[in-house]
Amino acid sequence: MLMCEQVSLDLGPNCILANVNLQVAAGESVCLVGPSGCGKTSLLRLAAGAVEVSSGHMKNHFRTTAAVFQEPRLLPWRRMLDNIALGLKARGVNRHERLARARTLADKVGLAGYDQHFPHELSGGMQQRVALARALAVDADFLLLDEPFSALDVGLRSEAQGLVQCLVVDQGIATLMVTHDLTEALRLAHRVVVLSGAPGTVVCEHRVSTPFAERTPAWLYEEAGHLLRQPVVQDSFLFHPDSEVA
Ligand SMILES: Nc1ncnc2c1ncn2[C@@H]1O[C@H](COP(=O)(O)OP(=O)(O)OP(=O)(O)O)[C@@H](O)[C@H]1O
């Protein structure tokens, strides 16, 4: 479990996050949304242990935490399987074993047959799937996802979202994911957490009880509409439906 209690983060003279309370339980998928600059990535960095809280308590009780970023961050001189196996090498797993595990994961993310390809020979969506497989290779029970699909076109994005949904539903991997896309959050999350800006703080938590299989596109847009009708959410996104457009 991840537990944030009254967490604040100052960077230089600026208060980036203030009194954030957030929990992610085992197997739970939580999506963070909020305006640009409100501290979503900073919160992921705190969860990853990359930065220390300025005040409050942050405890990550998951066994293994792995991260996937907006850019796949693959090693261009390494072939696809070696990129997936990177974390295993760092953990001292022998080459035969790590390639076998990487191949199993490549199959799982739909990349069978591309073992010997270099990153530049793969599409953006495929590269992002390699990054996901690399995170899974270390047997993570908690994934931090920082807008992992924002650079993908609509079709690839939907495919990648389906993959993450499978990880959550079939394998019970917990996720904390940052996205700008409310419909993406509603598709993938058990809970959507809305942050407001400057400094970032939680203004709304929305539990999504509709089963994943029933979250059709029509449902997603309707549910996003409901959420955006809440004044705190509108304020967070500076979205005022009744304001005049000049
Ligand atoms: N190393 C740093 N030093 C000082 N300020 C920083 C540092 N990193 C981030 N910030 C500031 O912290 C604030 C929050 O940044 P962060 O990247 O966490 O926001 P975000 O919500 O993820 O933004 P976006 O949605 O645009 O990606 C921003 O104002 C940013 O300028």
- Residue 53 C-beta-side C-alpha neighbours within 13 Å: 19
Distance CA 33, CA 196 (A): 9
**Residue 244: per-residue pLDDT:** 52
Atom of ligand 1 nearest to the CA of 12: 4
**Residue 74: per-residue pLDDT:** 92
**Residue 43: per-residue pLDDT:** 95
pLDDT, tens digit (0-9, with 9 covering 90-100), for 151-199: 777 877 787 888 888 888 888 899 999 998 899 999 999 999 999 988 9
Distance CA 65, CA 63 (A): 7
Query: Atom 6 in ligand 1: which residue has the minimum CA distance?
Result: 11
Separation of 112 CA from ligand 1 center, angstroms? 37
55-60 sheet: strands from edge to edge: 14-24, 2-11, 55-60
Predicted model pTM:
0.89
With beta carbons less than 8 A apart as the criterion, state whether 156 and 124 touch: yes
Query: Atom 30 in ligand 1: which residue has the minimum CA distance?
Result: 37
The residue written with tokens 């709304």 in the block is 204
Asked if residue 42 has its Cβ within 6 Å of ligand 1, the reply is yes
**Residue 60: per-residue pLDDT:** 94
**Residue 246: per-residue pLDDT:** 46
In three-state secondary structure terms, 202 is strand
Low-confidence ranges of the chain (pLDDT < 70): 238-246
**Residue 19: per-residue pLDDT:** 95
Asked if residue 41 has its Cβ within 6 Å of ligand 1, the reply is yes
**Residue 238: per-residue pLDDT:** 65
Dump the DSSP string for 66-124: EEE-SS----TTS-HHHHHTHHHHHTT--HHHHHHHHHHHHHHTT-TT-TT--GGGS-H
